[in-house]
Structure 1
Amino acid sequence: MDERPLPFPTEEKISITLRLKLPLIIFLFLLAAALLLPHKVWNTLLIGLGGLFLVGYVWVRQLAAHLHGSRRLRFGWVAVGDQLEELFTLTNQGAVPALWVEIIDYTNIPGYKTAVVRSVPQAQEIRWRETAVCQQRGQFLLGPWAIRSSDPFGLFQVTHFYSQTEEIIIHPPIHGQLPIPLPTGNSSGQARVRQRSWQATTNAASVRDYQQGDPLRWIHWPISAHRDILTVREFDQDATGDIWILLDCEEAVQLGSGTQGTIEQTVLLGASLAARAVRHNRAVGLASYGQTPQIVHTGKGEGQQWRILRALALLDANGSTPLRTALHDLAHLVRRGTAVIIITPTANTEWLPELVRLAQRGIESNVVLLDRQSFDSEENNRGLETAVRQLGIPCRLIRQGEVGTPLEAQQRRGFWEFRVTGTGKVVAVKSPVAG
């Protein structure tokens, strides 16, 4: 097949080009010979070769009018280690078969290649799936792409360009088993908040008569039976405060590259801690100071989790802002009673005074240090761990590979997917990774 890159147009387009020029040169030579030196040999060869050109051109015209392709992404939300899957369809509504159809894809997702060749009989449709394991977080595009085919003689080539693209965000993975507890914080500086919450929390304060619109799960059935009237629980607001997660994105302190680098470990910890905070109904926010600062203000719920995951997917460790400056800036965003989790691979101690100022303002700090020696650095930051703890601030040292599952191990385990049995029942099955 022709491997030359295609200049993709800005809109959908079908083009027919001459694939082989030598037969055309021969045809012109025969035509000149038949005119200048008339002979039945030249006439026979000229008619035969002209017939090939005619049949080939009519063939590709049929393909241009009746051969179409489509692709559909099966899952829109994927994370590193998940299986990306697309459904491809080729439809040939013409009277001639497409002996070969090449898929040309300019998708920029790392490790995802859909360069395949299929054949489509006349008046038929074929479908197949293309899968790949997501290897890198980030923002990518599916498409543009094209389908390319030819006549049986290879004289002409028809290309159908599809210029549409689809954005896909590959989120960082979430690890469920973290050796890092969530900080408590304190939303009011006291052990209990006296205001009532409009949402269910872990603190049931009192009961009141049922009102229209109250969720049925709030009904306190023993008291309702005793009073002979429906009674619902009232909830206190959680005493725990908001959580801010600060990621150190200064380029100068990072180690390693790819999934073995400190920035990927930092992103993994940030995503996992944010997901845990959401599960515990905690308001959580994110701050990172790369070349483009990412600030996600505190909020609750799954929507907040997806906002944080999107910010983490686009995060780069290309910043020049030191951790000291990042802490000083974050101090203007957080309020008293808030807890801050600082994730950093640094070994310098210049930022510790800012950590003390946060504590003086009533902001609870927790530090997560990435062990530099475990990331193949000669520099040791265990002394920094001791210095942080001497300030009375919790500090946890995380070694490379301590949190997270290697991508290769996840591939060996396979992936869960849903299938419909012959009886119409939907079951979850584990399928191995292809290839």
Structure 2
Amino acid sequence: MAAWWNEWAARLNRWLLGGSDARIGLRMRLPILWLIALLTAVLLLPDQIWTSLLIGLLGLILVAFYWARTVARGLSAERRLRYGWVSVGDRLEEEFTLHNRSGLPALWVEVRDESDVPGYQVGAVRAVGAVDRVRWQQASVCRQRGQYHLGPWELRSGDPFGLFHITRRYDERQDIIIHPPIHSALPIPLPPGQIDGRARVRERTPQATANAATVRDYHYLDPYHWIHWPTSARRDALYVRQFERDAAGDLWLLLDCQASAQLGRDADSTEEHAVLLAAALAARALGDTRGVGLAAYARQPHVVPPGLGEGQQWRVLRALALLRADGEVDLERALQELGDTARRGSAVMIITPTADAGWLPQLARLARRGIESHVLLLDRSSFGGEGHPEALREAIHLLGFRAQVVRRGEVGRPLVEEEHRGFWDFKVTGTGKAVAVRRPTDT
């Protein structure tokens, strides 16, 4: 019965609104009860006062319904995300446009949103005149990495008398990933690794490296210091060096995602520090034209094979944005898995908060397979736990491997809104060129 009633009501709405997706509903039942009571009084106790009240109330209801119906048929809205690629500390900004194509004004329009982005509140109330539109921007600073969605959302309005309400729902959802920030000032060296000398690197790179493979014709955009003068003098024309990618091995970033080893919460957790470290190290290695891979054996494993270029950086950052250190795989088993995956000559940076030393023999196993290891130990005591990372670091050094202790706060914190001195925006000049400008936070 309920399903039949809902279907009939939906058809009635579409017929009344000419096929519009909006819905009209009764906000208050009391006027209808008054109308029934007055109609009964007119029939049972005929009198001019009851007739006048009945006509006045019926006219008020009809005017209110006509107003709500007219506005509902012409009211619509749209939202547009200004920047689809954001990281923690960046500004998430949307532009909303409210249209009213009807001949009557919408005195109030409420926007209700079901987005789940932390700290992002879209709810607003606006008024829009007849045959008019209103545009505004909604913004918030991204404070937490992860995958979220914008929408669904809906518009709510009504007539000036408050008898009917209008609802127009938009069920579209737009997924958005907030990536971890990249902190460049990290005093942590990258392990070089080594590619087998018999497998010479043949991949060309547009960046200058230590390996110059051959020469090619000069292009007017080439830097002058790339010019190979002996060849240019011999051939009586300008030639530049053609570079090959450095013969350094792939770099694997292994994050210890065992849930029992983690400490802290939110930005002060070992999980967040490990993610920040991995993001910064991946960006630096990719900037050096090295192949970078990611291995994180959480409850939902994230394994990104080594790759090059900006696309690989996006893949690594996406995996880090979705990463949760909630796994049951300990570091020893994770190293075994990585040892079976990584190629000879690769290097691995191990980021772990564990105080257990049972995984150290796996470093020797990786070395026998030709994989260089560098360990980053998150200081448990600085995160409110117990443990002595210095002792574990010395044990790693005695085995012939490099290790470094990272304490809470040394990686860097994401910028919050008060620390921003404005936000970058893009303006188009009169010549059609897009330039980046700094916009104050109070605009």
Structure 1 length as normaliser, TM-score?
0.91
Match of 2:286 in 1: 278
Kindly state the Cα deviation for residue 24 of structure 1 after the two structures are TM-superposed. 1.2
1:331 counterpart SS class:
helix
Kindly state the Cα deviation for residue 421 of structure 1 after the two structures are TM-superposed. 6.9
Residue identity in the other structure for 1:349: A
Tell me how far apart the structure 2 counterparts of residues 156 and 116 of structure 1 sit (CA, whole Å): 20
8 A contact 1:103–1:148 mirrored in 2: yes
Deviations 1:195-242 (A, max 9, x none): 54433451344545659x999667646632442245443434422111
Match of 1:199 in 2: 205
Counterpart check, 1:267 vs 2:287:
no
Match of 1:135 in 2: 143
Computed over aligned residues only, the root mean square deviation of the Cα atoms, in angstroms, reads 2.5
Mark the CA change 1:400 to 1:189 in structure 2 (over 3 Å): closer, same or farther: farther
Residue identity in the other structure for 1:127: R
Find the partner of 1:147 among 134, 143, 155. Answer: 155
Find the partner of 2:251 among 243, 246, 250. Answer: 243
Find the partner of 1:404 among 389, 412, 420. Answer: 412
Match of 2:373 in 1: 365
Match of 2:389 in 1: 381
Match of 2:3 in 1: none
Find the partner of 1:342 among 336, 350, 374. Answer: 350
Tell me how far apart the structure 1 counterparts of residues 154 and 341 of structure 2 sit (CA, whole Å): 49
Counterpart check, 1:74 vs 2:82:
yes
Mark the CA change 1:113 to 1:43 in structure 2 (over 3 Å): closer, same or farther: same
Match of 1:45 in 2: 53
Is the deviation greater in 69-78 or in 173-182? 173-182
Match of 1:4 in 2: none
- Structure 1 portions without partners, runs of 5+: 1-8
Match of 2:426 in 1: 418
Counterpart check, 1:99 vs 2:102:
no
Kindly state the Cα deviation for residue 359 of structure 1 after the two structures are TM-superposed. 1.4
Kindly state the Cα deviation for residue 408 of structure 1 after the two structures are TM-superposed. 3.4
Kindly state the Cα deviation for residue 423 of structure 1 after the two structures are TM-superposed. 9.2
Mark the CA change 1:343 to 1:130 in structure 2 (over 3 Å): closer, same or farther: same
8 A contact 1:196–1:235 mirrored in 2: no
Kindly state the Cα deviation for residue 31 of structure 1 after the two structures are TM-superposed. 1.0
Mark the CA change 1:410 to 1:384 in structure 2 (over 3 Å): closer, same or farther: farther
Residue identity in the other structure for 1:257: R
Kindly state the Cα deviation for residue 368 of structure 1 after the two structures are TM-superposed. 0.5
Kindly state the Cα deviation for residue 59 of structure 1 after the two structures are TM-superposed. 0.7
Kindly state the Cα deviation for residue 431 of structure 1 after the two structures are TM-superposed. 3.4
Residue identity in the other structure for 2:205: Q
Residue identity in the other structure for 2:313: Q
1:265 counterpart SS class:
helix
8 A contact 1:287–1:294 mirrored in 2: yes
Match of 1:124 in 2: 132
Is the deviation greater in 225-234 or in 421-430? 421-430
Kindly state the Cα deviation for residue 82 of structure 1 after the two structures are TM-superposed. 0.6
2:148 counterpart SS class:
strand
1:302 counterpart SS class:
helix
Kindly state the Cα deviation for residue 362 of structure 1 after the two structures are TM-superposed. 1.6
Deviations 1:319-353 (A, max 9, x none): 00000000000001111110000001110001001
Match of 1:392 in 2: 400
Deviations 1:235-275 (A, max 9, x none): 34422111000000000000011111110111111111111
Mark the CA change 1:202 to 1:164 in structure 2 (over 3 Å): closer, same or farther: same
Counterpart check, 1:352 vs 2:354:
no
Tell me how far apart the structure 2 counterparts of residues 255 and 29 of structure 1 sit (CA, whole Å): 68
8 A contact 1:103–1:114 mirrored in 2: yes
2:33 counterpart SS class:
helix
Match of 2:17 in 1: none
Deviations 1:46-68 (A, max 9, x none): 11111111011111111111011
Tell me how far apart the structure 2 counterparts of residues 409 and 382 of structure 1 sit (CA, whole Å): 36
Tell me how far apart the structure 2 counterparts of residues 206 and 111 of structure 1 sit (CA, whole Å): 52
Tell me how far apart the structure 1 counterparts of residues 437 and 274 of structure 2 sit (CA, whole Å): 32
Mark the CA change 1:242 to 1:130 in structure 2 (over 3 Å): closer, same or farther: same
Match of 1:6 in 2: none
Deviations 1:55-92 (A, max 9, x none): 11111111111011000000000001110000000010
1:332 counterpart SS class:
helix
Find the partner of 2:298 among 280, 290, 298. Answer: 290
Residue identity in the other structure for 2:248: T
Tell me how far apart the structure 1 counterparts of residues 214 and 171 of structure 2 sit (CA, whole Å): 60
Kindly state the Cα deviation for residue 388 of structure 1 after the two structures are TM-superposed. 1.1
Tell me how far apart the structure 2 counterparts of residues 152 and 209 of structure 1 sit (CA, whole Å): 75
Kindly state the Cα deviation for residue 360 of structure 1 after the two structures are TM-superposed. 2.0
Counterpart check, 1:26 vs 2:34:
yes
Match of 1:58 in 2: 66
1:245 counterpart SS class:
strand
Is the deviation greater in 227-236 or in 145-154? 227-236
- Structure 2 portions without partners, runs of 5+: 1-9, 11-19
Deviations 1:117-158 (A, max 9, x none): 000000111100000011111111110000100000000001
Deviations 1:152-175 (A, max 9, x none): 000000100001111101111111
Mark the CA change 1:247 to 1:420 in structure 2 (over 3 Å): closer, same or farther: same
- 1:110-121 alignment runs, 5 A limit: 110-121=118-129
Deviations 1:9-65 (A, max 9, x none): 9xx932110001111111111111111111111111111111111011111111111
Mark the CA change 1:41 to 1:124 in structure 2 (over 3 Å): closer, same or farther: same
Tell me how far apart the structure 2 counterparts of residues 423 and 239 of structure 1 sit (CA, whole Å): 44
Residue identity in the other structure for 2:159: D
Tell me how far apart the structure 2 counterparts of residues 214 and 362 of structure 1 sit (CA, whole Å): 43
Structure 2 length as normaliser, TM-score?
0.89
